Amino acid sequence: MASKEDIQIEEAFAQKRMSAGTFMRLLSYMRPYRRRIVLNLIFTVLATASQLLGPKFIQIGIDRYLTNFTTMQVAMTGILVISAIYLVNLLANWGLSAAQVKSAIAIGHGAMNDLRDAVFQHIQRLSLNYFDKTHQGRIINRADTDIESLDRIMTWGASQMLSSALTLVGVVVLMVQYDWRLCLAVSVVLGPIWIATRMFQVYGMRAYRLVREQSSRITASIAESIAGVRVVQAFAREETNLANFQKVQDVYFDRFIASARIFHTYMPFIGLLSGVGTAIILGYGGSLALRNEITVGELAAFILYLGMFFGPIQTMGDLYNSLLSTAASAERIFGLLDTEPQVKDRAGAEPMAAIRGHVVFESVWFRYDTTPENQWVLRDVSFEAKPGETVALVGATGSGKTSIISLIMRFYEPQRGGITIDGTDLLSATVESLHRQVGIVTQENFLFTGTVMENLKFGRPEASDDDVVEAAKTLGTHEMIMRFMEGYQTKVSERGGNFSAGERQLLTFTRAMVARPRILILDEATSAVDTQTERTIQHALEQLFAWRTCFVVAHRLSTVRNAHCIFVLSQGEIIERGTHDELLAKGGHYAKLHAEFVRE
């Protein structure tokens, strides 16, 4: 099993060659912005050209007016004119660069946001089978880090590639124009720059991955010592833990230094290459100048142009790297977008009419995608729940209780057999119309950030505050809510972390009540509530059970005692059914469970 952090590192460092299909598909997300892209590229070309012209003006200034001039007057006017031209060029560059950056970000983030939207929408359509077999962290990454990692290519890819290529070509052309021999001599440094840059990127990335992995271990150590601080202190482990933490830090230190060493070899090496280039210009160029084959200004321009070699090569190497990780991200994103939801409305599906609550299972066979071959989670399950009845499902972990409930919710569809509600086959109804009428409370007790009130209205946003308070009063949770710092307006932090498990559970009960479901399902809903509180809400729950069909899954047999019918499940089959008293009298599996329960 991998932690969330492991997955993030694994995915962040994955690289792939980009296939033509992936590339075209990414490109299709840029289509809506094509006009702006053309404009952006025009800005880029112009900005690059103005950049390239700078040294040229200096060369002209030196050669025409500073070293050789006919009269002082001509030279003075000339240097003024060339400086003025330089200034205009600078102005143009300023405007163009700012406009270029603005438009690039608008395009890139626009397209990324469109893609993020598509991913988010698709996630809403996917069925639970996808969420069962895919680690939560991975799904979150698709809509989050994977999209982020497209930034470099989608925002800057085209313009940076164009400007780097133009700069390199432009520099070479201008150099050749001055003197092809010197250009050839200087270009000697290009090869080593390219090789060094690639090596730096490949090895640097590898070393950096090791650093990241270790840094995630540091985070994990700290997180654990905070989460387990009570145990740490109870066992007086502080000294040992600090020593262990230092060991984790030592590994991090070594890895960091190793990774930094790569960088600190590369940077001085590039500095050395640039020095060698300049030395070539001074030496070889100087001797050419001695023979009057090139001018002083041209010599200066050469040195200035040499400085423009390094940026584009590094940028292009970077882009290549980004392209590789973008390809990996993009394929993962498209993989998600291409996943078909398992449960979806059939052609001609109609919304379910107001449910009365007559639920029938007819020889239902079911297995999950993750279930091993030749095994069934439910085998030939048949039963009937009449409107208003309370049905309890009892059995060991893995006996199939939750699966029955998931099928009623149509989170999954059975492989064989059929399920009807009020005589309507579930497959011929729309999923949404079913979910609107069936309420469920699980032990997961998940809350969203926002206020308590917003959470309670989750299932029925049109409910008034009074409706909510009334539901809470019926259930007996109103007093608890009023004890919170700001009552119904208390903020819920991520996953409801600021409430105890019991409080969260009671809030999810209330949430289900507010939604006024026609069928109510409680899946181990009371296991996080202490026995005393359970007793308090038991009465309220019974009232709610009275006029809707309810399904209850519970470990504690005290909660199922009053059900109209109890189904005892074992290995996917209903092995006993009847009321509490009937089953006790029968002296079977249920009676045994009950005896064990009472003994405690």
Partner 1 sequence: MAEGVSTTPRFKTRNLFGVLPFLWRYPRAIALTVGILLVIISIELTLPQIIGWAVSDLRLHLRGESVFDPRLYVVIFLSLVLIRAGLGFLLGPIRNKLIQTALGDIRAAIYDSLQRLAFSYHDKTNSGELISRSTADVFRLQDFFFACLLLSFDIVVSLIAIIWLIWVASPVLAMITVATAAPTIGLIAFYASKLRPQWRLVHDQHGAMTTVIQENIAGVRVVKAFAKEHAQVEKFREKKQVFLDTLLRTVNYWAARVPFAQFIFGLSMPLILWVGGRQVIQGKLEIGALTSVVFYIMTVGHRVGMVGQFTNILQNASASAERILEIIREPRTLRSGKRPLPKGAGAVEFEHVGFHYSGPRASLTDVSFRAEPGQTIAIVGPTGSGKTTLVNLIPRFYDAMVGRVLIDGADARELNLTELRRAVGVIFQESFLFSTTVAENIAYGKPGATREDIARCARAAQAHEFISELEHGYDTVIGERGVSLSGGQRQRIAIARAFLMNPRILILDDATASVDPATEHLIQTAMRRLCEGRTTFVIAQRFSTVHHADQILVLKEGRIVERGTHKELIRQSGFYREVFEQQIRK
Site for partner 1 in 401-460 (CB under 8 A): 409, 411, 431-436, 438-440, 442, 444, 446, 448-449, 458-459
Write the interaction track for partner 1 spanning residues 302-341; mark x where CB under 8 A is met and - where it is not: -x---x----------------------------------
Q: Which is nearer to partner 1, 51 or 201 (CB)?
A: 51
From the list 276, 316, 337, 591, which residue makes contact with partner 1 (rule: CB under 8 A)? 276
Binding-site member from 38, 169, 195, 267 for partner 1 (CB under 8 A)? 267
75 scored as a contact of partner 1 (CB under 8 A): yes
Q: Which residue is listed with tokens 């990780």?
A: 325
Nearer to partner 1, 154 or 323 (CB): 154
The count of chain residues that interact with partner 1, using the rule CB under 8 A, is 152
DSSP 439-463: EEEETT----SEEHHHHHTTT-TT-
Q: CA angle, 567 as apex, 562 and 569 as ends, to 5°?
A: 135
Of 292, 338, 340, 374, the one binding partner 1 (CB under 8 A) is 292
Q: Which residue in 530, 542, 543, 582 binds partner 1 (CB under 8 A)?
A: 530
Residues 550/522, Cβ–Cβ less than 8 Å: yes
Pick one of 13, 39, 49, 144: the residue that binds partner 1 (CB under 8 A).
144
Stretch that binds partner 1, among 24-32, 177-185, 293-301, 319-327 (CB under 8 A): 293-301
70 binding partner 1? (CB under 8 A): no
Residue 398's nearest CA partner among 383, 376, 381 is: 376
Candidates 75-83, 324-332, 376-384, 567-575 — which segment interacts with partner 1 by CB under 8 A?
Answer: 75-83
Stretch that binds partner 1, among 83-91, 320-328, 372-380, 381-389 (CB under 8 A): 83-91
Minimum CB–partner distance for residue 26 and partner 1 (Å): 19
Q: Give the whole-angstrom CA distance, residue 556 versus residue 538.
A: 13
Ranges within 8-67 binding partner 1 (CB under 8 A): 54, 57-58, 61-62, 65-67
Residue 245 is a binding residue for partner 1 (CB under 8 A): yes
Q: Which is nearer to partner 1, 269 or 365 (CB)?
A: 269
Tokens of 123: 């996630």
Judged by beta carbon, residue 32 or residue 275, the one nearer partner 1 is 275
Name every residue whose Cβ is closer than 8 Å to that of residue 555 and which is 6 or more positions away in sequence: 524, 527
Phi-psi region of 526 (alpha: psi -120 to 50; beta: other; left: phi over 0): alpha
Gyration radius from the chain CA atoms? 35
Residue selected from 188, 231, 353, 585 as contacting partner 1 according to rule CB under 8 A = 231
Q: Which of 342, 252, 270 is nearest to 313 (CA)?
A: 270
Question: How many residues are recorded in the chain?
Answer: 600
Binding residue for partner 1, selected from 9, 468, 528, 568, defined by CB under 8 A: 528
What are the distances in angstroms from CA 364 to CA 367, 399, 555, 566?
A: 10, 15, 24, 18
The amino acid that residue 62 corresponds to is I
Amino acid identity at 196: A
Q: Which amino acid is residue 447, in one-letter code?
A: L
Q: Which residues pair with 573 in a beta bridge?
A: 570
* Closer Cβ to partner 1, 184 or 231, answer by number: 231
Residue 121 contacts partner 1 per CB under 8 A? yes
**Backbone phi, then psi, for 554, in 5-degree steps?**
-150, 145
Compute CA 254 distance to the chain's CA centroid, rounded to the nearest angstrom.
Answer: 31
Q: Does residue 102 belong to the site contacting partner 1 (CB under 8 A)?
A: yes
